[in-house]
Amino acid sequence: MPVKHCSASIVAAALGLGLLATGCGPIAFNDTVNYKLAAPEPEPEPEPPAARAQLSGDHIVIDGMIQFEYDSAEIKSVSNELLDAVVKVMQDNPGIEQLDVIGHTSSEGSKKHNDKLSTDRAASVMAYLKSHGIDGKRLVSHGKGPSEPVADNDTEEGRIANRRVEFKVTKMAAGAPEAGAADSKGGARGKPGAGH
């Protein structure tokens, strides 16, 4: 009978394990799958700042104002960044063979004084461009005083708008690529300059 006892023991042991397994309820398994979080999307490259000067039609359009000391041809340092942008346009466009730097004033004061002031301011701007690497053979400067207003000289706002420096391309090299059409928001004069 030992064989029967042995068989019964094996059966009992098997049943016991079965009962033990079912008595414990569901068996929990550790989650061994490692989920990797998706890498975050890279930050988009920031838009480069808009150029403060650009070639548009037959002008270099400036976004800002060239400021001078009051009743003087001395350029304020705050305008250096804007003038540096004009330098870059000239460097990037070697086909510009001649650029006219034109000074304008409001009608305040005598015409003689304003003609001289606008001429001196245009010459100061041209000197800045030359001192920053632009060949003087490509540059001409002159002043027009109060003769070409773009706004009403009877208001302070109008007088400020009339005090300005323009950059007009008067000669392009043959075969040089043409710039786009002139800006519809006031052409190439940019924003008005400050100072008398």
Residue 88, pLDDT > 70, answer: yes
CATH of 53-189, one of 3.40.1190.20, 3.40.47.10, 3.30.1330.60, 3.40.50.920: 3.30.1330.60
The three-point CA angle 14-16-21 to 5° equals 95
pTM higher than the cut 0.75: no
pLDDT at 83 (0 to 100): 98
Residue 7, pLDDT > 70, answer: no
Q: Where are the domains of the chain?
A: 53-189
Q: What pLDDT digit, counting tens, does each position of 112-171 carry?
A: 999 999 999 999 999 999 999 999 999 999 999 999 999 999 999 999 999 999 999 999
Name the one residue in this structure whose structure tokens are 């305008």: 79
pLDDT at 31 (0 to 100): 55
Nearest-angstrom CA–CA distance, 41 and 106: 54
Nearest-angstrom CA–CA distance, 12 and 17: 9
* Count of beta carbons in the 10 Å neighbourhood of residue 186: 13
Q: Is 111 helix (H, G, I), strand (E, B) or coil?
A: helix
